[in-house]
Chain A
Amino acid sequence: MQYMILNYVPAAKADGASAPGSHADMHAWSAYTKAMLDAGVMRGGNALEPGVTATTVRLRDGRRDVHDGPYADSKDELGGYYIIEVPDLDAALQWAARNPAAAYGAVEVRPIMVM
């Protein structure tokens, strides 16, 4: 089964200063990524620029509505994601608990739809 692991980290401030923990522990992220690669479960993934760099587009009754910033204004924001292939949800949750963001943000695990 493939799962997406979404890393939610404390949102960066509008002035570009990063929130504590979000980029301070690059070694922890490198170690986590290495462990996934070495264990042979990683199928993809990316880190994202902070949410303040996002632009959100909506169409409402055909009218364009474009905003600066992420689609939802919240304390945590999507900081990156991994795609992993493991036997079941329990195994995916093991990897989610190891994600550095689990300790200071939140980690969401979603099954990838089989088309």
Chain B
Amino acid sequence: MAPRTPWSPVEAEARQAYGRLVAALAYRSGDLAGAEDALSDALVAALERWPVEGVPTNPQAWLLTVARRRSIDGSRRRARANAAQAELSRMRDEAESAMNEPELFPDVRLGLMLACADPAVDPAARTPLMLQAVLGLSAERMASAFLSSPAAMTKRLVRAKARIAVSGAHFSLPGREALSERINPLLDAIYAAFTLGRDNRGDGALESEAIWLGRVVAELAPDEPEATGLLSLMLFVSSRSAADAGGGFTPLSQQDPAAWNSTLIAEAEERLRAAGRQRRPSRFQLEAAIQSVHANRRRSGRTDRSTILTLYDGLLAAAPTIGAVIARAAALAQSGNATAALADLDALEPARIAAHQPYWATRAFVLAASGEFAAAADAYMRAAGLTEHRGIRVWLLEQRAVLAS
């Protein structure tokens, strides 16, 4: 890590306010790329001015005003360069007074995020687009996280922004009913970022970014129980990060609950209760509820398998994803019904599971529980070849070695 420089207020401000400012700038035009450029210019101006003039009382308003001016006319920007100091001081004063009137600076990040997850946008581009628009992550950084070439990721993002600019109507903040219809792709995009951060163990930063986005959405859409449910789910999963830290892997059933983060669990429980009060259970609330049952092992010392199975039945009805089918099969086998678990796994389409690591790890577990040890060892080997995480690979190969001996 580089030592903190005297300019660190700019970095801190950028981290806190980036998405809010991009959203505010692009709100009317729908021009996401232009908004990002204008904000970069404003951040450069801040790097020049703040160390000299001091950090303005309201840095976000300062950045917003500067960025708005710069997005108006790029040529005027150059002409202004010499007269910058006086003008920037004036703008800062203006911005500060603007900040005292909140309606001039509404928080429209939710509109920005909904636009990024709009059905018009390529599904593969939604999550990276949102991470870039709201958090300012670079295309290079996301290419690594999403296992894409940086050139392809850059192109994908440019195309997606052009698409948003064309369908500018999508950018506005929807009313309550329209929000219910549009929020699911947004929640999916946030959850995709979260699972990516979890799978990519070295990239814990992405996991925290996703939780941060989850908090923003839960706060901005309090009437959407699924938004709160997603936040609860992410907090539950995150509470166990320490249990298999250090590059190793410990399956949930063998983790020591004392290693779980009780603060995160308490918040997750509270969020789940808050979501539940709206009496509209769906995918993320059910997934959070399953995690809540697991978390309860801290208190009861046991896992209530039948409740977990009931919740999985509800989850499959609400969102029959391949991940839910596989997780339910594992829960079935843990409840002693390996035969039914194997039948469910067999029913999945071969093309979808050919390179799906969780499928082969679960299949191996279910086969071993059925007494089919040779087939189980074979499936563990295949699962080991499909993971990129060294700790999981070692663990899978150990399971295989035990079966083969």
Residues of A within 8 A of B (CB): 27-28, 30-36, 38-41, 89-90, 93-95, 97-98, 100, 102-103
Contact = CB atoms under 8 A, between A and B. Distances in A.
A31 B147 contact: no
B152 A98 contact: no
Contacts of A93: 147-149
Given A93-B149, A98-B388, A103-B390, A38 B397 contact: no
A28 B381 CA distance: 9
Given A90-B147, A98-B387, A31 B355 contact: no
Contacts of A27: 384, 397
Closest 5 CB pairs of A and B: A35-B385, A31-B385, A31-B384, A97-B388, A32-B385
Chain B contact residues: over half helix, strand or loop, or mixed? helix
B164 to A, nearest CB: 22
With most chain B CB atoms within 10 A of its CB, the pick from A28, A36, A103 is: A28
Contacts of B386: 35, 98
Interface string B341-358: 000000000000011000
13 contacts: A27-B384, A28-B384, A30-B385, A31-B385, A31-B397, A34-B381, A35-B384, A40-B354, A89-B152, A93-B147, A93-B149, A95-B355, A97-B147
B240 interface: no
Q: How large is the interface on B (under 10, 10 to 19, 20 to 34, 35 or more residues)?
A: 10 to 19
A30 B381 contact: yes
B382 interface: yes
A40 B351 CA distance: 10
A3 B384 CA distance: 22
Nearest to A103: B390
Contacts of B381: 30-31, 34
A33 B386 CA distance: 10
A98 B389 CA distance: 8
Contacts of B387: 98
B213 to A, nearest CB: 23
Nearest to B146: A90
A34 B147 contact: no
B374 to A, nearest CB: 14
Nearest to A32: B385
Given A31-B385, A89-B152, A90-B152, 16 more contacts: A28-B397, A30-B381, A30-B385, A31-B393, A31-B396, A35-B355, A35-B384, A35-B385, A35-B386, A36-B385, A38-B354, A89-B149, A90-B148, A97-B388, A98-B386, A102-B388
